[in-house]
Amino acid sequence: MAIGKWDKRFIGLALHVAEWSKDPSTRVGAVIVDNKQRVISMGYNGPPRGVSDHYVTREDKLFKTIHAEENAVLFAKQDLTGATAYVTHPPCANCAAKLVQSGVTRVVFPAPSEDFLSRWKESYYAALGMFVEAGVAVETGE
């Protein structure tokens, strides 16, 4: 199913939120909305509160970064059951698990690029498998 006008708007909002990330290589944003298209929560990738965003190595960054989807789930102040998550990048397996566990029933994100798949292929397909098994609708767009 093609993504609609509101889906494009919320992906646009997620792209705006992604700009708040200080990560020089990958900026990711997430927006979670309820079934009446009201924003419940937003998040972007970055270190935990009070932790420096200056990393010595890539591995150091990976260990300390909270993903956009995780931040959006953590900062939600209400139940996410039945919500839709809009993410600027395909969710990794860990974020997919958190979205499923939080009650999100639909996830919208751009189709993965070849570059993305060259680095995240296993995690991406594990995420898709979890979404399918849990009955979470997945829609990819432009």
The conformation of residue 53, written as its DSSP 8-state character, comes to S
**Dihedral sign, CA of 13, 14, 15, 16?**
positive
Please report the pLDDT score of residue 58 as a whole number: 82
pLDDT band (50, 70, 90) for residue 118: very high
Strands of the sheet containing 106-110, edge to edge, are 39-44, 29-33, 84-87, 106-110, 137-141
* Structural domain boundaries enclosing 30: 5-141
Select which of 19, 59, 69, 133 is catalytic: 69
Please report the pLDDT score of residue 56 as a whole number: 74
Residue 117's CATH number: 3.40.140.10
Write the single-letter amino acid at 44.
Y
pLDDT band (50, 70, 90) for residue 127: very high
Please report the pLDDT score of residue 2 as a whole number: 67
Could you give the number of structural domains in the chain? 1
Please indicate whether residue 59 is annotated as part of the active site.
no
Residue-wise pLDDT tens digits, 37-82: 999 999 999 999 998 888 778 888 888 899 999 999 999 999 999 9
pLDDT band (50, 70, 90) for residue 1: low
For residue 46, give the nearest of 31, 77, 24 by alpha carbon: 24
In whole numbers, what is the pLDDT of the chain averaged over residues? 94
